[in-house]
């Protein structure tokens, strides 16, 4: 099956159209940009599941998906995605009888929860997620046509601008997770996964996730998928692909650092950290176990 030619639709419009075409086997993986979608997606693909990227694929009216040709180069940077694309020849692989996972940045009102298999809420400390989102938009917003996003400039300027869903980044993080937390009980099955747990105890975290959706894998299979999805392995793959394409030096990388607690390197800047002290953000973050202390004070978890 040949990849599709470039879609004329705006990437957000394509995302929404793809979301509307999901069906009974689909599980929405909802996460703010920068929360670890590349990591969890790589593990799921390594385990044999289909994982749909709503910006680089088209979900047809019959529910099947195809890759958009213009995005193959970007997808080739992600090791398991690249292998899946090669094996499928433009269509999508994965087990036909298991769940299909759908990467998502949209609010839950875009989905018919009764039609779907379920939803996963992927969450990361907002200081790390928003900072990671900033770096991704700086490197790739032009390629994806992310109109309206403050993609250049300093982190402080990014925080004062508009991010995904046309919202200020910090307020958007809080709004996104508030909405999805309220929506999860309406889905047939649901789970909450923290990026930090994916990094510190990935085998147990993935095993628990798959049990929720009735699609368990053996400990050996999960261990292998996790090992292949480690940051150093995914980064090494992206470096090889980038070097082969002539992208060297300070070119942006999808796998930038993959670090837990990177916020500690910049949180001492009170003018920036103040954005992360709004009552709504503090309350929302606390529901996931993130206690965002003021700069210069002791932080508990």
Q: Are 93 and 258 in contact (CB under 8 A)?
A: no
Residue 194, strand partner residues: 123
Q: What are phi and psi of 103, to 5 degrees?
A: -60, 140
**189-214 CB burial, b ≥16 within 10 A, e <16:** ebbbbbbbbbbeebeebbbebbeebe
CATH architecture of 11-286: 3-Layer(aba) Sandwich (3.40)
pTM: 0.90
**Least confident stretch, 82-91, 203-212, 234-243:** 82-91
Query: Does 147 have pLDDT greater than 60?
Result: no
Quote the CA–CA distance of 250 and 61 in Å, as a whole number: 41
Q: How does residue 139 score in pLDDT terms, banded at 50, 70 and 90?
A: confident
Q: What is the pLDDT of residue 301?
A: 47
Angle at 211 between CA 210 and CA 212, to 5 degrees: 90
Quote the CA–CA distance of 170 and 174 in Å, as a whole number: 7
Mean pLDDT of the chain: 89
Give the sign of the dihedral formed by CA 125, CA 106, CA 191, CA 216: negative
Q: How does residue 162 score in pLDDT terms, banded at 50, 70 and 90?
A: confident
Quote the CA–CA distance of 154 and 100 in Å, as a whole number: 37
CA distances from 161 to 42, 156, 241 (A): 31, 9, 33
Q: What is the pLDDT of residue 213?
A: 97
Tens of pLDDT, residue by residue over 247-277, are 666 678 888 888 999 999 999 888 899 999 9
Quote the CA–CA distance of 267 and 244 in Å, as a whole number: 37
Quote the CA–CA distance of 60 and 111 in Å, as a whole number: 16
Query: Does 148 have pLDDT greater than 70?
Result: no
Phi/psi-derived region of residue 218, left when phi > 0, alpha when psi is between -120 and 50, beta in every other case: beta
Q: How does residue 179 score in pLDDT terms, banded at 50, 70 and 90?
A: very high
């Amino acid at each position: 099956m040949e990849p599709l030619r470039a879609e004329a639709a705006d990437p957000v419009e394509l995302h929404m159209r793809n979301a509307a075409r999901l069906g009974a086997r689909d599980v929405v993986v909802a996460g703010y940009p920068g929360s670890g979608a590349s990591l969890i997606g790589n593990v799921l693909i390594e385990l044999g599941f289909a994982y749909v990227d709503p910006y680089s694929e088209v979900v047809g009216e019959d529910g099947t998906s195809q890759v958009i040709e213009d995005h193959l180069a970007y997808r080739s940077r992600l090791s398991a995605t690249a292998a899946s694309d090669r094996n499928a020849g433009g269509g999508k692989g994965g087990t036909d009888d298991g769940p299909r996972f759908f990467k998502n940045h949209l609010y839950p009102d875009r989905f018919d929860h009764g039609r779907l298999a379920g939803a996963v809420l992927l969450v990361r400390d907002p200081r790390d997620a928003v900072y990671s989102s900033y770096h991704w938009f700086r490197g790739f917003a032009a390629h994806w046509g992310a109109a309206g996003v403050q993609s250049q400039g300093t982190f402080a300027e990014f925080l004062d601008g508009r991010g995904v869903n046309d919202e200020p980044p910090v307020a958007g993080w809080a709004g996104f997770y508030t909405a999805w937390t309220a929506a999860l009980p309406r889905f047939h099955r649901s789970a909450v996964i923290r990026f930090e747990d994916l990094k510190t105890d990935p085998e147990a975290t993935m095993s628990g996730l798959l049990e929720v959706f009735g699609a368990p894998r053996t400990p050996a299979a999960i261990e292998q998928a996790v090992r292949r999805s480690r940051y150093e392995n995914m980064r090494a793959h992206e470096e090889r692909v980038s070097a082969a394409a002539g992208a060297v030096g300070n070119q942006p990388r999808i796998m930038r650092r993959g670090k837990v607690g990177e916020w500690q390197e910049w949180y001492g800047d009170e003018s920036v950290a103040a954005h992360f002290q709004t009552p709504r953000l503090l309350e929302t973050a606390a529901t996931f176990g993130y206690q965002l202390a003021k700069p210069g004070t002791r932080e508990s978890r």
